[in-house]
């Protein structure tokens, strides 16, 4: 790259600093440290300290001072993270079971609460069994690396989450990418890899683009090749489908996927991951998924909270209805402001800015004005799709959403018009 970093640090991205620059791998590349110093004003938008709960309106630290914000930055889609009944359940488990599980589930970390949650998740998803992971990332990574072998092939949508890609890398299987949501590209990739066992890996809702996986068409292609399909339902579980059973329920394809994977960190408002499926497959996976066998079980207090969240999320469909009503409203209003929300059709909405420096400048302005959205930079999205990501929840009131829209109308809209005329 010819541009000098000191002259134009915005021309650089995380992809420029992968090579080591000293003999010691424990030392960060000096150019990265310099870049971070030059970009400190932009990096301030990352890791903001949340000073209250992940509610629709909350308080974050901005410039060393508490700043009340409308929170469009949280995965608390149904508002269960701070539901009073969830908090009571967690308190009770803290009293009965203490804080940590203090062991891998295999050896000593499996409590009666963990078993109960396994049973309830399996029943909810109409599967024989379920197993729990202490993170969603570990669950995806552990499931894929625990089941795929070197002689297999993983076919990944090119917008796949890193937990899925890293799982395939760890398994040392061959990986093939296909164009996002594109059946003909998947068909070509499957045709190239006929001799191997094939696993097609897709997502219910894509976490950066906010669009649904094209499940019906991709499943049909996979089935025509005799390939299995794995759906990451991290963002769709409990938020999609009539009963909350995710994108597979939404598209009516549940009985065509043998394994269900999701997380407890999004609509469940807690932490962890799970996979549900046949007893035999899970019995095998319990011994071969390293993040399961060699890592501590979730704290019982978290399990108790998830049990209550599952009960509320399944017995109160009005929460899901409110989530979608809010998403539809916000989406329509963003479009009427002329903002680019890409392919989003869900409660996860990119607002595309397409220029790194402008995005960070606007990000500061939005925080100053009291709106909290996530900055999303390359390589998480392509350079020309650098964006903010807004997540709408069931707990946002119309007044919250309208205030957020007013702030966007005052800040982003003039900036984007300026860009067009430049
Ligand atoms: C699609 C997808 N899969 C897996 C994960 C990992 O989940 P967790 O944050 O619970 O570790 C995420 C996290 O955002 C995700 O977006």
In a domain, 93, yes or no: yes
How confident is the model over 266-314, as pLDDT tens digits? 999 999 999 999 999 999 999 999 999 999 999 999 999 999 999 999 9
Q: How much is the average pLDDT of 392-403?
A: 98
CA–CA dist 356, 376 (Å, integer) = 9
Would residue 177 show up in a list of annotated catalytic residues for this protein? no
The answer on 326 and 295 residing in a single domain is: no
Q: How far is the CA of 78 from the centre of ligand 1 (A)?
A: 17
Q: Which pLDDT belongs to residue 114?
A: 98
The answer on 187 and 95 residing in a single domain is: yes
Taking each helix axis from N to C end, the angle separating 300-315 and 112-124, rounded to the nearest 10 degrees, works out to 30
Could you list the residue range(s) of the whole structural domain that residue 251 is in?
A: 84-315
SS3 (DSSP) at 276: strand
CA-nearest residue, atom 9 of ligand 1: 136
The answer on 333 and 291 residing in a single domain is: no
Would residue 235 show up in a list of annotated catalytic residues for this protein? yes
Distance of CA 385 to the CA centre of its chain: 18
CA-nearest residue, atom 3 of ligand 1: 234
Would residue 207 show up in a list of annotated catalytic residues for this protein? yes
Answer whether 232 contacts ligand 1 (Cβ < 6 A): yes
Query: For residues 141 and 167, is the Cβ–Cβ distance under 8 A?
Result: yes
The answer on 275 and 225 residing in a single domain is: yes
Query: For residues 244 and 314, is the Cβ–Cβ distance under 8 A?
Result: yes
Query: For residues 20 and 29, is the Cβ–Cβ distance under 8 A?
Result: yes
Q: What percent of the chain has pLDDT over 90?
A: 92
Answer whether 81 contacts ligand 1 (Cβ < 6 A): no
The answer on 333 and 225 residing in a single domain is: no
CA–CA dist 341, 189 (Å, integer) = 29
Q: Which pLDDT belongs to residue 3?
A: 65
On the question of a cis peptide bond just before residue 84, with omega within 30 degrees of 0, the verdict is: no
Q: Which two tokens stand for residue 62?
A: 């901005």
Answer whether 160 contacts ligand 1 (Cβ < 6 A): no
Active-site annotation holder among 74, 207, 295, 344 = 207
The answer on 250 and 387 residing in a single domain is: no
Q: How far is the CA of 169 from the centre of ligand 1 (A)?
A: 17
CATH code, 365: 3.90.1150.10
Q: Which pLDDT belongs to residue 420?
A: 74
Answer whether 234 contacts ligand 1 (Cβ < 6 A): yes
Closest CA to 227 of 193, 186, 182, 197: 197
* φ, ψ of residue 36 in degrees (nearest 5): -60, -35
In a domain, 131, yes or no: yes
Q: Which pLDDT belongs to residue 269?
A: 98
Query: For residues 120 and 307, is the Cβ–Cβ distance under 8 A?
Result: yes
**The last residue of a domain, from among 268, 286, 315:** 315
The answer on 235 and 157 residing in a single domain is: yes
In a domain, 246, yes or no: yes
CATH code, 292: 3.40.640.10
The answer on 341 and 202 residing in a single domain is: no
CA-nearest residue, atom 16 of ligand 1: 207
Q: How far is the CA of 144 from the centre of ligand 1 (A)?
A: 14
Q: How far is the CA of 195 from the centre of ligand 1 (A)?
A: 31
How confident is the model over 399-413, as pLDDT tens digits? 999 999 999 999 998
Say if residue 106 is exposed, middle or buried (CB neighbours under 10 Å; 0-12, 13-18, 19+): middle
The answer on 151 and 193 residing in a single domain is: yes
The answer on 327 and 309 residing in a single domain is: no
Q: Which pLDDT belongs to residue 418?
A: 79
Q: How much is the average pLDDT of 209-236?
A: 98
- Which residue spans within 140-204 are E strands per DSSP? 153-157, 174-178, 198-203
In a domain, 144, yes or no: yes
State how beta strands 198-203 and 153-157 pair: parallel
Burial 315-354 (b: 16+ CB within 10 A, else e): ebeebbebbeebbebbbebbeeeebebbebbbbbbbbbbb
Answer whether 302 contacts ligand 1 (Cβ < 6 A): no
In a domain, 244, yes or no: yes
State the total domains in the chain: 2
Answer whether 203 contacts ligand 1 (Cβ < 6 A): yes
Answer whether 263 contacts ligand 1 (Cβ < 6 A): yes
| Ligand 1, pocket-test mutation among 141, 165, 234, most atoms within 8 A of CB | 234
Q: Which pLDDT belongs to residue 421?
A: 73
In a domain, 28, yes or no: no
In a domain, 294, yes or no: yes
SS3 (DSSP) at 394: coil
In a domain, 56, yes or no: yes
CA–CA dist 163, 159 (Å, integer) = 12
How confident is the model over 23-59, as pLDDT tens digits? 999 999 999 999 999 999 999 999 999 999 999 999 9
Q: How many helices (H) and strands (E) does the chain have?
A: 15, 13
**The last residue of a domain, from among 315, 340, 374:** 315
Distance set, CA 333 to CA 337, 338, 374 (Å): 6, 9, 19
The answer on 185 and 61 residing in a single domain is: no
pLDDT tops 70 at residue 395: yes
Handedness of CA 399, 245, 317, 118 (dihedral sign): negative
Residue 135 — very low, low, confident or very high, per pLDDT cuts 50/70/90? very high
**The last residue of a domain, from among 254, 287, 315:** 315
Q: How far is the CA of 272 from the centre of ligand 1 (A)?
A: 9
The answer on 304 and 167 residing in a single domain is: yes
């Amino acid at each position: 790259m010819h541009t000098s970093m000191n002259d134009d640090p915005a021309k650089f991205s995380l992809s420029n600093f992968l090579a080591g620059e000293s003999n010691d791998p424990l030392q960060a590349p000096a150019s990265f440290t310099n870049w971070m110093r030059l970009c400190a004003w932009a990096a301030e938008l990352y890791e903001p300290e949340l000073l209250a709960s992940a509610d629709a309106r909350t308080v974050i630290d901005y410039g060393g001072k508490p700043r009340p914000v409308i929170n469009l930055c949280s995965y608390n889609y149904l508002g269960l993270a701070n539901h009073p009944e969830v908090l009571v359940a967690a308190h009770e488990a803290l009293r009965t079971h203490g804080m940590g599980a203090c062991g891998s589930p295999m050896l000593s970390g499996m409590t009666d609460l963990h078993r109960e949650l396994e049973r309830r998740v399996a029943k909810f998803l109409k599967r024989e069994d379920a197993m729990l992971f202490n993170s969603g990332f570990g669950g995806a990574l552990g499931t894929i690396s625990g089941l795929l072998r070197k002689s297999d092939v993983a076919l990944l949508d090119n917008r796949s989450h890193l937990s899925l890609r890293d799982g395939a890398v760890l398994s040392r299987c061959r990986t093939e990418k296909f164009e996002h949501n594109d059946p003909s590209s998947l068909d070509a990739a499957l045709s190239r890899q006929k001799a191997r066992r094939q696993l097609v890996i897709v997502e219910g809702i894509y976490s950066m683009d906010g669009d649904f996986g094209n499940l019906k068409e991709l499943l049909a292609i996979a089935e025509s090749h005799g390939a299995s399909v794995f759906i990451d339902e991290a963002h769709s579980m409990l938020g999609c489908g009539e009963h909350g059973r995710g994108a597979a329920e939404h598209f009516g394809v549940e009985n065509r996927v043998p394994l269900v994977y999701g997380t407890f960190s999004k609509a469940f408002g807690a932490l962890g991951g799970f996979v549900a499926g046949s007893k035999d497959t899970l019995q095998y996976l319990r011994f071969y998924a390293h993040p399961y066998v060699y890592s501590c079980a979730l704290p019982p207090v978290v399990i108790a909270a998830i049990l209550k969240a599952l009960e509320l999320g399944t017995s109160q469909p009005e929460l899901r209805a409110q989530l979608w009503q809010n998403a539809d409203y916000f989406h329509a209003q963003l479009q009427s402001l002329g903002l680019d929300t890409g392919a989003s059709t869900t409660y996860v909405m990119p607002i595309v800015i397409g220029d790194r420096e402008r995005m960070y400048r606007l990000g500061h302005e939005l925080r100053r004005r009291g709106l909290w959205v996530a900055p999303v930079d390359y390589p998480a999205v392509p350079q020309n799709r650098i964006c903010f990501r807004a997540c709408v929840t069931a707990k946002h009131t119309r007044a919250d959403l309208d205030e957020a829209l007013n702030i966007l109308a005052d800040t982003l809209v003039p900036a984007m018009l300026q860009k067009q005329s430049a």
